Amino acid sequence: MSIAIDKNVAVSMRDGTLLRADIYRPPGSGPHPVLLQRTPYNREFLPLVTMTLDPIRAASAGFTVVIQDVRARWASEGDVFTPYNNEAQDGLDTLDWLAEQSFCDGNIGAYGLSYMGGTTWLNAVSGHPALKAISPTTAPNDFWHDHFWRGGALHLSTLVSWALRVIGPAALLRRGLEPVELGTRLAELAEALDRFDETVSQRPLNKLGAARPEDEQFVPFVFEMMQHSTPDDWTASRLFSNRHDQVKVPALIIAGWHDLLLGADLSHYRGMIENGGSKSAREQTRLVVGPWSHAMFLNYVGQVDFGFRSSGYLLDIREDLTQLQLRWFNRWLRGMDEAFTDPPVRIFVQGKNRWRDETEWPPRRAETTPWYLHAGNRLGPEQPAVESSCNYVYDPEDPCPTLGGNLLMPPQYTPGPVAQTAILDRRDVVSFTSKTLGSDLEITGPVTVDLHASTSALDTDWVVKLCDVHPDGRTFNVCDGVLRASHQLREHNLSMTPGDTLCWHLDLWATSHVFAAGHQIRLLVTSSDFPRYDRNPNTGETGTEATASVPALQRIYLGPGTPSCVNLPVVPGK
């Protein structure tokens, strides 16, 4: 028997707005458990909405799958789209509607990637009794701390490219513009994206012409976000924001080491294990982390091939992401306990290129080990014996270009591990390199940096990359972090005068990576990563408001009294 697909099914929200969905129904008569995905990216665009879970296979396996356009997107009614503005309320109304349908057996699961993962977490906060489990993949948590900002810096390219490439065209199409005006506006978008570096280089950013500040029905959220350079009630209200104590159902969290939302996924797991709103939420939540970048589940990530086992389409030569999630939902929506007996944590160890099961995250056996920055651009586990320093000039008008990392940017910027050759000789990049390793060194867990440094500026940024130097000399980024000085000062209620030496704490998120024998460990220090992040103008103004900039003299201190170091979670060898 064939599955049935009901197209454009209208679901009424409490204010009368109609949101439309496609429903994939299993063969035979129901009722069946339901899987819900809510998307702003067009429920009919199958390459995206089926990326982690194929609705046709799910329906064939006995699940009814509902994929719904969120408010103000595609076939759903609504005025102007604002990210996450209505998702909690609309998600609850949709769950109420589903629970009353004859095709639903009273058991609902929610799933989705990226934005859809965000709507999944907001569904879980509702506490709806029919929702029994969730499976969010690379999903945001807090709007400010790990989504559109990081370490106080704005994810500039993520915001602008997402608004113009993904949200903008559909926003224009639903405006009912005359064909000539529509064509003109779409051409403007294309031009802005084709000249992307020029688009995001204009000042001030809060008057970004390509986003049409005067057009309140286009992508107004771009400018609204730029008004919140510090976390506040508005940013806290946008998303899930660590409300794990309100989640009573277990979560299967799928993440990637090179994903834009890795920090969010790891905070979700920690929040559920420590604060989940029920015993099953705390004890049954699971975490899977592959070597992937955002919305890319292939074995080739950036410029590195992690091997066939790493692919999300044949996980460890066992199953794909669809089958993994169907096993999960069979366990929680059908009571098939034997369907999912996986360990709490499954991670892909890069360098070794093998999957490994863990009982916890981060692994308790990993020993936090500082590797210190030394004079002569050396890096090693021994503490420096003499006072020394080095310096560089950061000029916002000639920023260090983006080269790999946890990116969600236009396709000309390659996410993941990328050879850093193009920036190694820049005057604003300082590198510290270890001796050649005589044996494998595995790091698995959070990576942080304590950087003792001063700046001549009123405010500035620090950017640090942990890298693996291969025997042929190629340097590949492993993980990185950014910190806006004013962000740390504000967080700790501190002040700074230009020239003051402070210890700056950078969060490089986490990784699982083996530095193989014959390789070297390298740390790169600079003050920009553009256009990934907005440029700090060094004037004390925000990057979005500044109309000019000044160069800054940055000095890094390396002595025993100022032990700048990278803290590595070293897993002892067997």
Residues 475 and 522: beta-carbon distance below 8 Å? yes
How far apart are alpha carbons 117 and 339 in whole angstroms?
Answer: 23
pLDDT at 30 over 90: no
Q: Which residue has the tokens 């060898």?
A: 573
Give the active site residue among 147, 228, 244, 294.
294
Q: Going edge to edge, which strands form the sheet with 252-258? A: 4-12, 18-25, 64-69, 32-39, 104-113, 131-137, 252-258, 286-293, 345-349, 354-358
SS3 label, residue 369? strand
**Helices 115-125 & 87-99 angle (0-180, nearest 10):** 70
**Residue-wise DSSP of 382-425:** SPP-S--EEEEEE-TTSPPBP-SBS----TTS--B--B-GGGTT
135 bridge partner residues: 111
pLDDT at 180 over 70: yes
What does the pLDDT average to over 155-175?
Answer: 94
Q: Where are the beta strands (DSSP E) in 281-407?
A: 286-293, 300-301, 304-305, 345-349, 354-358, 367-374, 378-380, 389-394
Residue (of 533, 567, 554, 550) closest to 152 by Cα position: 533
To 10 degrees, the CA torsion angle through 532, 533, 536, 541? 140
Query: How confident is residue 48, by pLDDT bands cut at 50, 70 and 90?
Result: confident
Please give the pLDDT value at position 573.
Answer: 84
pLDDT at 216 over 90: no
Residues 513 and 469: beta-carbon distance below 8 Å? no
- Token pair of 360 as six digits: 């916890």
345 bridge partner residues: 287, 358
Lowest pLDDT segment from 26-35, 257-266, 369-378 = 26-35
Task: List, for residues 54-100, the tens digit of each pLDDT value.
Answer: 999 999 999 999 999 999 999 999 999 999 999 999 999 999 999 99
Please give the pLDDT value at position 1.
Answer: 58
Query: How confident is residue 574, by pLDDT bands cut at 50, 70 and 90?
Result: low
Task: Report the alpha-carbon angle 369-372-378, nearest 5.
Answer: 130
Give the active site residue among 259, 459, 461, 507.
259
Query: What sign has the CA pseudo-torsion 408, 413, 418, 422?
Result: negative
Please give the pLDDT value at position 76.
Answer: 98
The answer to whether 114 is a known catalytic residue is yes
How far apart are alpha carbons 432 and 521 in whole angstroms?
Answer: 8
CA dist 373 → 158, 442, 473, 513, 563 (Å): 32, 20, 20, 20, 7
What does the pLDDT average to over 103-110?
Answer: 98
The residue type found at 513 is H
Please give the pLDDT value at position 412.
Answer: 94
Residues 186 and 169: beta-carbon distance below 8 Å? yes
Q: Higher confidence at residue 215 or residue 12?
A: 12
Classify strands 18-25 and 64-69 as parallel, antiparallel or unpaired: antiparallel
Q: What is the number of other CB atoms lying within 10 angstroms of the CB of residue 43?
A: 26
Cβ-Cβ contacts under 8 Å for 296 (sequence gap 6 or more):
256, 415, 416
Give the active site residue among 22, 93, 114, 265.
114
What does the pLDDT average to over 369-388?
Answer: 97
Q: What percent of the chain has pLDDT over 90?
A: 95
What does the pLDDT average to over 26-34?
Answer: 90
Q: Share the mean pLDDT of the chain.
A: 96
The answer to whether 259 is a known catalytic residue is yes
CB-based burial of residue 20 (10 Å sphere; 0-12 exposed, 13-18 middle, 19+ buried)?
middle
What does the pLDDT average to over 439-444?
Answer: 98
Q: Give 163's Cβ-side CA count (13 Å radius).
A: 30
The answer to whether 454 is a known catalytic residue is no
pLDDT at 47 over 90: no
The residue type found at 401 is P
Cβ-Cβ contacts under 8 Å for 67 (sequence gap 6 or more):
21, 22, 24, 37, 38, 39, 43, 49, 55
What does the pLDDT average to over 141-145?
Answer: 93
505 alpha-carbon distance from chain centroid:
20
Cβ-Cβ contacts under 8 Å for 538 (sequence gap 6 or more):
394, 396, 455, 457, 458, 459, 460, 549, 550, 551, 552
For 556-565, b where at least 16 C-beta lie within 10 A, e where not — what string? Answer: bbbbeebbbb
Q: Is 61 left (phi over 0), alpha (psi -120 to 50) or beta?
A: alpha
The three state secondary structure string of 108-131 is: EEEEEECHHHHHHHHHHHCCCCCE
Task: List, for residues 127-137, the tens digit of each pLDDT value.
Answer: 999 999 999 99
Q: Which domains does the chain have, with CATH numbers?
A: 4-145+237-358 (3.40.50.1820), 153-228 (1.10.3020), 367-571 (2.60.120.260)
Query: What sign has the CA pseudo-torsion 463, 468, 469, 470?
Result: negative
What does the pLDDT average to over 299-311?
Answer: 97
* Structural Rg of the chain based on CA atoms: 24
